Structure 1
């Protein structure tokens, strides 16, 4: 039987083992990465909602949203850099980090694609023009959010 001190030592050892195994399977949580991803995702969701409400059907509206596109892209760029430089403790964590960076870059690509569509033609409601962007950015947000656990 373990005494009180032995039990505490065993508990501390188990906790250390659990925390060490997390470093093998996932990169460490980064609050800046989380905040930048959330900022970008909220911007994407707002942009998509406004587009689906018909605010951007005329391509002339693009110039008024350049700042929004730039803010989203800046947040995604910072997030991708932070995610890509996260230290990892094992191959699975490295793969998770690389997938997260890939998701963030995919979201960025979809935002660029929507910006090009907006600039060239405007965004017609009900055509699904914002769907790919929302799905891609949702994947990125979920990947970053999974690091909290």
Structure 2
């Protein structure tokens, strides 16, 4: 939860994501849903970086420079900039209830939130369904990249 909280406190300027570098109002986004009953948070930034935070602790952090993750993140951010207008301003940032998914759009004007039933997003019956599937694609790319890295890391001596 501490890492999740940091996501809402970041500024685009400290990440070198000023408006001159981002072709839209969304410089980052947080996608949150449940997996096996536990919530998780996916943070995606316009520079192609993605981090997966698990509510049970840990996650997949440090994707900068991983081509597969960067490409999936860029597709997600392009769609986030197309769909952010569906969201509403949000001062509070609760985790979604079981069966629900939330998108928090980090914009230069503040945080916007959109929450919908995961089943509706997943079956294509929601206006943010394309973004839901792209978020799942970023998670899959992160998992694949980190699995591949761990298989090729020499054992510590």
User: Under a length normalisation based on structure 2, what TM-score does the superposition of the two structures give?
Assistant: 0.28
Q: Which structure shows the bigger proportion of residues in helix conformation?
A: 1
Higher alpha-carbon Rg = 1
Q: More relative contact order in 1 or in 2 (CA 8 Å, sep 6+)?
A: 1
User: Under a length normalisation based on structure 1, what TM-score does the superposition of the two structures give?
Assistant: 0.29
